[in-house]
Chains A and B, each alone.
Chain A
Amino acid sequence: MEQDSAPGVGESELAGSFASYTAGLAFALLLTGASFIVSQTHLLWAPGVPAGLIVLAIAQMGVHLVFFLHIGTGPDNTNNVLALAFGVLIVVLVVSGSLWIMAHLNANMLSPSAIMQMQR
């Protein structure tokens, strides 16, 4: 068998532990439940519900990253965290850029009736 771990590096570091998976599951269940409650009841001020749901979703993604994917602050994780930061940057650019451009295109588009008028 090949030598798979450097001395001093615990092999359980990437696989986590039973306690961390269970804590992650508990947090994820809690946050999912909160999302359903916020969206279905009037607990939150109505215009604030989308913002509340997005905050809960980001929190749950964080829980998944830390407790399930083990993206943490350890020395072996620096590269993973940097890659994640770059991925998040691209995702934000793609989503916000698309929404921004399409909103402007939509605002500047002629209505179908106006196009019909011009064709006459």
Chain B
Amino acid sequence: MSAHAGIAGPAPVRIVVAYGFWIFLLSDIILFSALFATYAVLSGQTAGGPSGHELFELRHVGVETLCLLFSSYTCGLGVLAIERRRLHSFYLSFAITFVLGAAFLGLELSEFVGLIARGAGPSRSAFLSAFFSLVGLHGAHVTAGLVWLSFMVAQTAVRGPRDFVRRRLLCFSLFWHALDIIWVALLTLVYLLGAR
């Protein structure tokens, strides 16, 4: 920034907004790191209950991963479309993003319901408490993201692709991509290593 600040003047609003939102995202990632640390400490404490090896179904988790990854992709395409003022492809991209995000959430809820039905709910063992809080927090973020996405689509429809709307859409896309990064850590540390 300092290299050309003297030539071009202050940084554009868009870059400052993205920077501020990036700081928020990093603080959110630090929140997750505390729960990751808790999970890592407690992952062996099954109190005689089922372990991850018996509980996790990798096929299910693989489909969840694909949903989230493709929704991240379509979200990025939606932001590209709105930058080029192509409203129809923006709406289409964000509709697909919403459907894939909701599919991810549905799969995660069905996994939770299945675990609780098998007697492996959050109160069964320290391992399962940590598992439900960590994965549940990510699910809560995805839920918040879907609500935000709906609001942003409504705002775009009412106010049009103006500067402040496009900045908010950029922030939403950063949030959605960051959730995907957290899911990569979850997939590896909780599911792939836990299922072995």
Contacts and interface: CB of A to CB of B under 8 A. Distances in A.
Are both chains from one complex?
yes
Interface of A: 1-2, 4-9, 11-12, 14-18, 21-22, 24-25, 28-29, 32, 35-36, 39-40, 49-50, 53-54, 56-57, 60-61, 64-65, 68-69, 71, 75-76, 78-80, 83-84, 86-87, 90-91, 94-95, 97-99, 102
Contacts of A40: 58
Nearest to A38: B192
A102 B41 contact: yes
A36 B73 CA distance: 20
Nearest to B44: A106
A90 B164 CA distance: 32
Contacts of B27: 87
Given A1-B163, A29-B69, A32-B69, A69 B178 contact: yes
A34 to B, nearest CB: 11
A68 B72 contact: yes
A101 to B, nearest CB: 9
Interface of B: 1-4, 8-15, 18-19, 22-23, 26-27, 29-30, 33-34, 36-38, 40-41, 58, 62, 65, 69-70, 72-73, 76-77, 79-80, 83, 162-164, 167, 170, 174, 177-178, 180-181, 184-185, 187-189, 192-193, 195-196
Contacts, number: 146
Given A39-B193, A80-B19, A7 B8 contact: yes
Contacts of B30: 87, 90-91, 94
Given A64-B184, A69-B174, A21 B77 contact: yes
B177 A69 contact: yes
A64 B180 contact: yes
Contact of A6 (B11, B40, B79, B180): B11
Contact of A78 (B1, B18, B22, B62): B1
